[in-house]
Structure formats: C-alpha cells, structure tokens
C-alpha cells in the first residue's frame, strides 16, 4: 500500500519546502479505495487565525487497483506559517490524513491530530551572496593568538596568564564567584598575523566573539560598544584586520550583544569605573531609560538573574537610536570594515528591534550578513508568548544551526541514522531557500562542549568543574574520536549551509563546558591529520558547485549508515557515511558507479568500498 501523503516527496507536494509569498503549491494524496471517500478537502490554518480554510481536492483517477489519487492547489499569500492536513468524508464518518510519525509520513485517523507546516516568506527576500559556498571560522579573541606586542592597559583588576597552554581560571574566588578576569592576551594583531593560515583552510568569513571594551575575558558584559577592548588592541587594529582579511577574500563579522550590557559599563556603571555617570548612579543619565529598575538603584532586571548583566529595554527609543541610528554602533563598525553581525540571544530580542537593526545593516551594505543565535528550529520558534519571525525576510539572514549540530554529533555517538536524517530534513523542509544556503553550521561553539569531547569522551552528566578540569580523552578515545570527528566534519561541510569551524576544532582541541571549551589554540601541538582533512574539504567546497546552493536528496538512512546527494546543473556529489565497525560495500546510485571517487574514497568495478567510521564521496562533473 503506497503512503497516503509525504510532505518531503515531490510527488505529494510540489514545490518542496518553504515557499516565497504567492507561490502555488500542488498537493496530492493517495486514498485507499477501502475508505470509499466521497469528498476530500485540504484543511489550512494561517498561524495567526483561529479559523480553518477548506479547499476541495479533485479525484484524478486510480494510482493502482486499491488506491485513488486526489489533488488540489494552494497558494499562501501572507508571510508566516500555515498548518495543514486533509479531511475525508466517508460513508462511515469523517476521517483525517495527519502526520503519523517523526518522519512526516501520514496515516488516516478519526481525529485531526497534528499538522504539517508550510513556511511562507516575504516575496523578494534574499540573503548575501558572498557566504555561499564559503567557510566561517569562529574566534574567541583572547585565546587564538597573541602577537607579542605589549599594549597600554590602564586597568589592574585582571590576571595575566603567561602559560599559553594552561587551563583558564575555573575555580571561584573567595566570594564564590567566577569572575572571568584571567586573560591570555590574544589580540587582533595576532589574528591578522594568522590570516594566511585561515586562508589556507579555505576560510571566507571570520566570526569574532565580542571585541568591545568589557570587564571579562568573554566580553559579553559590554562596557563600551564604541571602543575596542584595550587588551585586544585599538580601533585601528580592527580596521587593519578587516582590510587585510578582505585582501584574502575573508570577511569579518562581529558579535552583537544587545539584550544586556555589563554592570561595569559606561552605560550602567555600578562600580564607578566610569566616574559619576551611568544609570546606576544617576537618574538623569542619558542611559537611564535603557534599563528596568524595580527599585533604583539595586533592584533591576538582569539577564537570567546575573546582576553583572543588567537587561536592556531594546524598544527604548534612546537605545534604538544608539545602536541602529544613522550615527549608531551598527553603522560605526561596518564603516570600520566589518561585513555583518552575529546577534547574541536573538530569541530574546524583540521583533521591532531586530527589524530596525536589519534596516540599519542593509542601508549600510545590502550584502552584509546577519546571523542570530537560536538553538531550536528557528522557523517555528516561540518565545515570550509569540511566534518568532526570524526567517521570514525582515529580520535575520541566517541562524546558528544547532539542529544540524545535534543531529550530526548524535549520529556519531550511536543514534540511528533515520533520526539524524529526519532532523536534517526538518530544517530543509521548514527554512526558506535563501536562508538554507547560508545556514551557520557549527559542531562546537563557545557555549558547547568541544565536538571531539562530545563524540569520544565520557558524558558530562552534570559533573562539576573540578571533574571537567581533570578529565581528558585517553589515547584510545582520542584515536576513535579523530575518526568520528572526520565523519562529522565531512557532514558539516557537505550539508546545505555555511560550515563554521570553532577555532581549534580543526587542530584536535577537546574540552567540556565553559571555560574548558575556551582554551588557547594549540600552536605547535596541532593534530596535522585533522587540519589536512579540513583543508581537503575546503578545497572540495571551492570546486564542487553543488555544495554552494545545490539540491539535497535523501538517499539512505538506516542504522549506522547515511547517504545523500548534493546536485546542481554543473556537479553532483554522492556522500555516504559509514559508522559501522566494519567496512561496507555499496552499490552507488545510477550514474555514479563509473564516476570519480574523491577525498581518498575507493571505487572499484562499480562498487564503493567504505572503511569503518569513515565517509566516502563520488563526484560527477556535469558541465
């Protein structure tokens, strides 16, 4: 018996995936004759409406001796989400075609149940061209490279760590606080000195964790948005970094932390570092309206209860003008050479603020890139009681794709390939095509455990910092982990989107949570095999146009093996990943058996031989 409906197959729904406003969608269902359906209707509800819309399906003949074909068209005309299913009128009552499992296939039930999703995005929505086909590289500035150039630093309330290979400070002080006030002195000139290394990896974009003046080494407690932190260098150093990077075809984007500032900032100034001004010390401060005081000065809203991170009222006109205005922070740093912004905790920023930020960014440079931190499916994410509009054409260009990250790493840790493929397909189905081509696909970030630790180490399971500081991969774990990480990176580089390497992942860095995932890059102690693998994959991305914006086809996903094809009008790449502990021999899809095996893959007599814990690739040049 054929499937009644499958939203991920073009036979049932065309076109597949998110659609531009005004696009006609053709839908087809296959109804068992045993239902004796007298009428079939498409049931659609716009996300913000209470009422369902009904469209009759036409009977279009027999699929086979036991199945009928019913079809209709539907054209979403409003930007947003639509939810849909099918209603059958049968002699024995009303029946419903609904999603039956996590794979979006279907069953016929007596009650409506769940629905399928259509994402409809703004007509004309497009994203920057330059990230397409490229590679992003995330740098935590204090820990990447120290130029050796001493700087004039007025503050004395910090600890300088002279051992580059030491662990960051992880023990609390006498007050029981983790102050994040230890610095390894990595700087902007150090990044500039390593641009040749990044260019060699194929990097086309550097994402910098915060570089603005702040108290802490992570700098998410902004002290002054308009100044580079003196420990990192000067505004001129930033301009030079951007200019030298662009000579190599590398763009720079900054971390924008706009949901909160530091309490130790020119705006709030709790500790008096900035004189007598600031909202904490002066109700007449120009920054007072930025903050919500319940009882001035000590009772104020702060980010997740951290008193050192007072929350900003993003809709405050003065704050909006300061960040997004003609003379605002967004434009200032773009005029200094940056090519866009990563927005910290984007799901905590109001729509109004994000729309104004997008306008400011695109006015300065229509090709600038805006990527937001969202941990879940960003197409249907809800926060603060409302459906978010991140990807509909008026806010973000992209998001940090934690959905892919979790799917890939879980597959490497033993998850059945079916679940991994389902997570991948859910993103491809729900995200607009302009977003898909520039999705920020990371395996590690400053907020997660290192990928190598996740796939090869002992699970954290809530253990404390002392355990994390003392626990490292054994030699055997590391050897297995390197193999698995190569598989994970191969998926990261070949799935739709823009792979982002967290500094040092390519060199074999390991580590549990903050601060152990933020150790210094191991210059002189790198894993050369992993670095070479990243270079080879970078070269493949440059030469294989199918990886830039090609179609994605699910070929096989079962147990410990997963395969897919990326395809456009010039190239086609078959990708397969074997996580069994033995070699598998595969009959490639039609047309690939006499093509070119790449990246060390072995294709003999029409068979593809894939070693244990390994990927394999076959490339067809079409034009």
Assess whether 344 carries a catalytic annotation: yes
Catalytic residue among 344, 397, 422, 429: 344
pLDDT value at position 103? 52
Catalytic residue among 41, 373, 449, 505: 373
Q: What are phi and psi of 507, to 5 degrees?
A: -105, 5
Sequence length of the chain is 623
pLDDT value at position 102? 56
User: Beta strands of 449-560 (E only): which ranges?
Assistant: 498-502, 551-558
pTM assigned to the model: 0.97
pLDDT value at position 113? 83
What are the structure tokens assigned to 553, written together? 């086809």
Q: How far apart are CA 485 and CA 505, in angstroms?
A: 9
Q: How far apart are CA 319 and CA 256, in angstroms?
A: 14
pLDDT value at position 184? 98
Q: How far apart are CA 595 and CA 619, in angstroms?
A: 6
Q: Which helix (H) or strand (E) holds 85?
A: strand 80-90
pLDDT value at position 104? 58
Flag residues of the chain having pLDDT under 70.
101-104
Q: How far apart are CA 393 and CA 377, in angstroms?
A: 16
Q: How far apart are CA 149 and CA 126, in angstroms?
A: 42
Q: How far apart are CA 392 and CA 126, in angstroms?
A: 10
Helix, strand, or coil (residue 598)? strand
Q: Is residue 222 within 8 Å of 176, Cβ to Cβ?
A: no
pLDDT value at position 100? 82
Assess whether 237 carries a catalytic annotation: no
CB environment 404-413: b (16+ within 10 A), e (fewer): bbbbbbbbbe
Chain-centroid distance of CA 95 in Å reads 39
pLDDT value at position 320? 98
Q: How far apart are CA 200 and CA 217, in angstroms?
A: 28
């Amino acid at each position: 018996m054929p499937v009644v409906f499958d939203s991920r197959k073009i036979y049932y729904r065309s076109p597949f995936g998110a659609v531009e406003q005004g696009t006609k969608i053709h839908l087809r269902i296959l109804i068992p004759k045993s239902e004796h359906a007298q009428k079939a209707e498409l049931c659609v509800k716009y996300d913000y409406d209470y009422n369902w819309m009904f469209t009759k399906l036409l009977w279009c003949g027999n699929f086979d001796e036991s199945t009928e074909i019913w079809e209709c068209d539907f054209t979403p005309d409003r930007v947003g989400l639509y939810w849909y299913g099918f209603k059958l009128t049968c002699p024995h009552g009303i029946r419903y075609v609904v999603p039956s499992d996590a794979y979006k296939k279907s069953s016929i039930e007596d009650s409506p149940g769940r629905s399928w999703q259509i994402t409809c995005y703004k007509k004309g929505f497009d994203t920057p061209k330059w990230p397409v086909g490229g590679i992003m590289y995330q740098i935590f500035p204090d820990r990447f490279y120290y130029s050796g150039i001493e700087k004039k630093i007025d503050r004395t309330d910090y600890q300088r760590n002279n051992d580059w290979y030491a662990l960051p400070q992880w023990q609390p002080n006498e007050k029981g606080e983790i102050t994040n006030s230890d610095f390894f002195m990595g700087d902007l000139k150090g990044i500039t000195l390593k641009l040749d290394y990044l260019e060699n990896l194929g990097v086309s974009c550097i994402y910098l964790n915060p570089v603005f003046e702040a108290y802490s080494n992570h700098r998410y407690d902004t002290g002054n948005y308009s100044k580079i932190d003196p420990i990192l260098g000067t505004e001129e150093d930033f301009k030079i970094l951007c200019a030298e990077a662009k000579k190599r075809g590398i763009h720079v984007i900054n971390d924008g932390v706009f949901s909160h500032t530091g309490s130790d900032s020119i705006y709030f100034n709790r500790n008096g570092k900035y004189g007598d001004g600031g909202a904490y010390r002066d109700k007449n401060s120009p920054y007072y309206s930025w903050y919500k005081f319940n009882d001035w000065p000590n009772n104020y809203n702060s980010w997740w209860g951290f008193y050192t991170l007072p929350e900003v009222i993003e809709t405050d006109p003065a704050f909006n003008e300061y960040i997004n205005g003609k003379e605002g922070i967004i434009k200032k740093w773009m005029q200094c050479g940056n090519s866009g912004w990563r927005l910290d905790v984007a799901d905590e920023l109001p729509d109004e603020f994000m729309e104004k930020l997008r306008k400011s960014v695109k006015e300065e440079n229509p090709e600038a890139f805006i990527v937001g931190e969202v941990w879940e499916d960003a197409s249907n994410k809800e926060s603060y009681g409302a459906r978010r509009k991140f990807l509909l054409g008026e806010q973000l260009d992209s998001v940090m794709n934690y959905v892919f990250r979790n799917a890939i790493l879980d597959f490497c840790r033993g998850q059945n390939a079916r679940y991994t493929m389902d997570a991948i397909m859910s993103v491809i189905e729900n995200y607009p095509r302009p977003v898909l081509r520039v999705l920020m696909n990371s395996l590690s970030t400053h907020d997660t455990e290192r990928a190598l630790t996740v796939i090869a180490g002992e699970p954290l399971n809530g253990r404390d910092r002392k355990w994390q500081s003392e626990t490292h991969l054994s030699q055997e774990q590391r050897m297995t982990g390197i193999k698995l990480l190569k598989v994970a990176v191969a998926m990261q580089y070949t799935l739709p989107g823009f792979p982002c390497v967290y500094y040092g992942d390519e060199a074999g860095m390991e580590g549990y949570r903050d601060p152990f995932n933020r150790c210094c890059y191991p210059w002189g102690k790198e894993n050369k095999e992993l670095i070479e693998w990243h270079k080879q994959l970078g070269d493949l991305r440059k030469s294989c146009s199918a990886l830039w914006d090609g179609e994605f086809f699910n070929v096989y996903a079962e147990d410990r093996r997963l395969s897919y094809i990326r395809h456009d009008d010039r190239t086609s790449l078959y990708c397969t990943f074997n996580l069994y502990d033995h070699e598998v021999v595969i009959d490639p899809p039609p047309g690939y058996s006499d093509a070119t095996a790449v990246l060390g893959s072995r294709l003999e007599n029409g068979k593809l031989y894939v070693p244990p814990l390994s990927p394999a690739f076959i490339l067809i040049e079409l034009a």
